[in-house]
Structure formats: C-alpha cells, structure tokens
Amino acid sequence: MHRTGELYGQYKTLEQQKETATLGMWVFLVTEILFFGGMFLTYAINRHEYPTAFGVGGNMLDLNLGFANTVVLIASSFTMAMSVWSAQTSNKKLVPIFLIFTLILGIVFLGVKVVEYKQKFDHHLIPGHGFDITYCSKQPAAVCGISEEDHAKEITEIKEGIEADGGLVALNAHAQLYFSLYFGMTGLHALHMIVGAGLLVWLILESRKGRFDANYNTPVENIGLYWHFVDIVWIFLFPLLYLINRHLA
C-alpha cells in the first residue's frame, strides 16, 4: 500500500501521474460505451422489427419501480459528485460520508432490481422453455399480485398484440427477444453496479484514513467517473425498456 499521492516509478511528476490516470479512465469508459453499444444495437434492430411484442413486454415492467430506481441512481450520482467535491476542497471528513450515501443508494437500486427480477420470475417471463407471455393474463389478478385494473389492461394488450403480431406463438417468441434484452441489458448494468459498489467499499475504507484531499484525489475522481457512466447507461435503459408503449396503456 503506497502512501497518499506517492509518485510511482514510471512517472516524472505527480501532475503527469494524475493526467495519465484520468486519460486512462476516460479511454476505459470509451470501451464501455462500445461494449454497451453492441447491446443497444441489438435492442434497436429487434425493437424495429417487432414493435408490438416489445410494447407488450415493456408494459409488463413495473413503471413505479423503474421510476423510483432512476431517481435513486441519479441521487447516487449527485452524492458521488459531492464526494469528489469534498475531496477537492479537502473536506476529509465529508468524503466518506458522501461515499457511504452513494453506496447505500447503489445497494437500494440493486435491491429493487432483485424485487423486479423475482417478479418476472414468478410471472414466467424468463426466456426459455417456461416462458409464457400470457401467464398472468390467464390467472386471477391476485396470483400475479397486480391490480384488477392493470390485469384487465394486460389482457386487452395481449389480445391486441396477438392480433398485430400474427398469432400467439409469434408474440410469445418475439416477447422473448424483448425479455432476453431486458435481462441482458439490466443484468449487465447491475453487474457494473456491483463492481462499482465493491470499488466504493474500498474507497470508503481508504477515505476514512483521510487519504484524499485537494492534492490527491484521483481514485475518488476516477471511480466517480465510472459511477456516473453506469448512471448514464441507466438513463437510456429506463425509457428504452420501461416506456416503450405507455401511451397505449
């Protein structure tokens, strides 16, 4: 473990060291843009091909939970930014506090995600042999834990979807594309959150030693960049996954 802001052997100045780390982080984030980009492309093509099934699938997500999670994540980005500010202004006590807030919000986000996944699991919406887009519409509303009103809407939507998509088999197949992308994209995003949470834990432990101040705050700043990037991904995932066809509902 090296001391606060120690100069590594390959650099000549601390400034060079910091500049290098920042550039490295940004270049890494560019790779992340293209990494998620491949998934966004897959989403775009499939949604373009099957708007009906994607609409039906999107309306099966819980808008309230999605909205709440977006707010939580944006708030966590704010607290992360504040921890960078605390470090930059040498408020050594505040750094871990804001970081802990960020971590808590991140964990809340992941918790909500777990609830949502569990719900989809119960509703037979995991792609594969057991997938059944009509599962909830065939059950009494209480079994799926949704309101009578939503249940009625879902039944109409599926009926219309079957008509528009050329049959139940087709709708069921195409909706699996939607849910594959839903789980793929949010899963990958959640994985990034978990990595971020791990980094935050390390950062909190380090910052409690008072390591980060105006002279040396590269780790806070770079992990912050990563955290904001993960936030940005969600900013796109939320409308693309949750809001596709809300105007029909």
Partner 1 sequence: MSGTTTSSGGEYQLPREHYLNASYGIRSWLLTTDHKRIALLYLAAVTFFFFVGGIFATLIRIHLLTPNGLLVTPETYNKLFTMHGVAMVFFFLIPSIPAILGNFLIPIMIGAKDLAFPKINLLSWYVYIIGGCFVLYSFGTGGLDTGWTFYTPLSSVYSNSAVTPAVIGIFINGFSSILTGLNFVVTVHTMRAPGMTWFRLPLFVWSHYATSLIMILGTPVIAITVLLAGLERIFHFGFFNPAYGGDPILFQHLFWFYSHPAVYIMILPAMGVVSEIIPTFVRKPIFGYSFVAASSIGIAVIGFLVWAHHMFVTGEATYAAIAFSFLSYLVAIPSAVKVFNWTATLYKGSISYDTPMLYALGFIGLFTIGGLTGLFLACLGLDIHLHDTYFVIAHFHYIMVGGAVMGYVGGLHFWWPKITGRLYPEFLARAAAIILFIGFNLTFFPQFILGGLGMPRRYHNYPPEFQVLNVMSTAGASILALGYLLPMLYLTWSMRYGKIAGPNPWPATGLEWKTDSPPLTENFRETPEVDWEPYDFVHRPDLGLTGSKPKLPGKLSPAHGDD
Partner 2 sequence: MSENGHQEHVVSPKLYATILAALLFGTWLTVQAAKIDLGRWNIVLALLIATIKMSLVILFFMHGKYSSRRTQLVIVSGFFWLAIMLGLTMTDYSTRKPEPSRSANPPAIAIHRA
Instruction: Name the residues that contact partner 2, by CB under 8 A.
Output: 12-13, 15-16, 19, 22-23, 26-27, 29-30, 33-34, 37-38, 40-41, 44-45, 48-49, 63, 67, 70-71, 74-75, 77-78, 80-82, 85, 88-89, 166-167, 169-170, 173-174, 214, 224-225, 228-229, 231-232, 235-236, 238-240, 243-244, 246-248
Rounded-to-10 torsion of CA 211, 216, 218, 223: 30
- The stretch among 80-88, 108-116, 127-135, 237-245 that binds partner 1 (CB under 8 A) is 127-135
CA 50, 52, 54 angle in degrees (round to 5)?
A: 70
Q: Does 88 bind partner 1 (CB under 8 A)?
A: no
Q: How far apart are CA 120 and CA 173, in angstroms?
A: 16
Which does residue 135 touch among partner 2, partner 1, none (CB within 5 to 8 A, set by kind)?
Answer: none
Closest CA to 133 of 165, 173, 98: 173
Rounded distance between C-alpha atoms, residue 216 and residue 247, angstroms: 50
Which element (helix H / strand E) includes 161?
A: helix 148-165
| Per-residue buried b or exposed e for 80-113, using 16+ beta carbons within 10 Å of the residue's own CB | bebbbbbbbeebbebbbbbbbbbbebbbbbeebb
- When asked if residue 1 is in the footprint of partner 1 (CB under 8 A), the reply is no
Helical packing angle, 14-49 and 168-208, nearest 10°: 170
State the amino acid at position 47 in one-letter form: R
User: Of residues 103, 177, 237, 241, which one binds partner 1 by CB under 8 A?
Assistant: 177
Instruction: Please state the closest distance from residue 34 (CB atom) to partner 2, in A.
Output: 6
Each residue 128-167 as x (binds partner 1 by CB under 8 A) or -, in order, gives xx--------------------------------------
Q: Single out the residue of 4, 6, 7, 37 in contact with partner 1 (rule: CB under 8 A).
A: 37
**Should residue 30 be labelled a site residue for partner 1 when binding is judged by CB under 8 A?**
yes
- DSSP summary character for residue 3: P
Q: Report in angstroms how near the CB of residue 198 gets to partner 2 at its nearest.
A: 20
DSSP type of residue 123: T
59 touching partner 1, by CB under 8 A = no
Residue 127 in 3-state DSSP? coil
Binding site for partner 1 (CB under 8 A): 9-12, 16, 19-20, 23-24, 27-28, 30-39, 41-42, 45-46, 49-50, 127-129, 170, 173-174, 176-177, 180-181, 183-184
